[in-house]
C-alpha cells in the first residue's frame, strides 16, 4: 500500500513556476513518460516539478525523487541513480527511502520505470529553458 500512497502523492499539475531547466524521458519498454522541470540556484536543484504518466512503481519513484532532489548537485543525482540501479540488480544496499519499492527488485521488467524519474532529471540538468 505504501507504493500506491506514494504514487498518489504526486501533484496533479507537476509544473514548477520559473523553471530554468526541463526535459522528458520516455521508456521504450512500457511507454511511461516523465517530464521534469527544475529551478536551479547556485548549481543546486532548488525546485522540481514532474508530469508523470507511468505505472505505480514509476510514480512512487518520482514521488521519492521529488522529496529527495531539492538541494542536490548533479553529481549527487548521478551517484544516487547508480546506487538505485545497483540495488535493483541485487548489488548493494537500498538507497535512501527506496526500501518501499522492494517488491520491484525481483521484477527486472519494472526497473526502468523506477529509474525513469532519474533519467528525466538528469536530462533536465543538461538543458536550460
Partners of 128 in beta bridges = none
pLDDT at 128 over 70: no
Cell numbers 524521458 correspond to 25
Across all residues in the chain, what is the average pLDDT?
92
Residue 49 sits at φ, ψ, to 5 deg, of -125, 140
Whole-model pTM: value is 0.92
pLDDT exceeds cutoff 90 at 114: yes
pLDDT digits (tens, 9 = 90+) for 6-64: 888 888 788 899 999 999 999 888 888 999 999 999 999 999 999 999 999 999 999 99
Q: Where are the alpha helices (DSSP H) in the chain?
A: 2-8, 56-68, 74-88, 111-125
Residue 1: band (very low, low, confident or very high) from pLDDT cuts 50, 70, 90:
low
Amino acid at each position: 500500500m505504501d507504493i500506491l500512497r506514494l504514487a498518489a502523492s504526486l501533484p496533479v499539475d507537476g509544473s514548477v513556476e520559473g523553471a530554468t531547466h526541463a526535459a522528458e524521458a520516455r521508456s521504450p519498454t512500457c511507454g511511461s513518460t516523465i517530464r521534469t522541470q527544475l529551478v536551479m540556484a547556485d548549481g543546486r536543484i532548488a525546485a522540481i516539478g514532474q508530469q508523470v504518466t507511468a505505472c505505480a512503481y514509476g510514480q512512487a519513484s518520482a514521488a521519492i525523487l521529488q522529496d529527495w532532489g531539492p538541494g542536490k548537485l548533479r553529481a549527487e543525482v548521478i551517484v544516487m541513480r547508480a546506487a538505485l540501479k545497483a540495488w535493483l540488480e541485487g548489488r548493494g544496499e537500498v538507497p535512501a527511502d527506496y526500501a518501499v519499492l522492494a517488491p520491484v527488485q525481483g521484477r527486472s521488467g519494472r526497473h526502468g520505470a523506477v529509474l525513469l524519474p532519474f533519467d528525466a532529471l538528469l536530462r533536465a540538468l543538461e538543458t536550460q529553458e
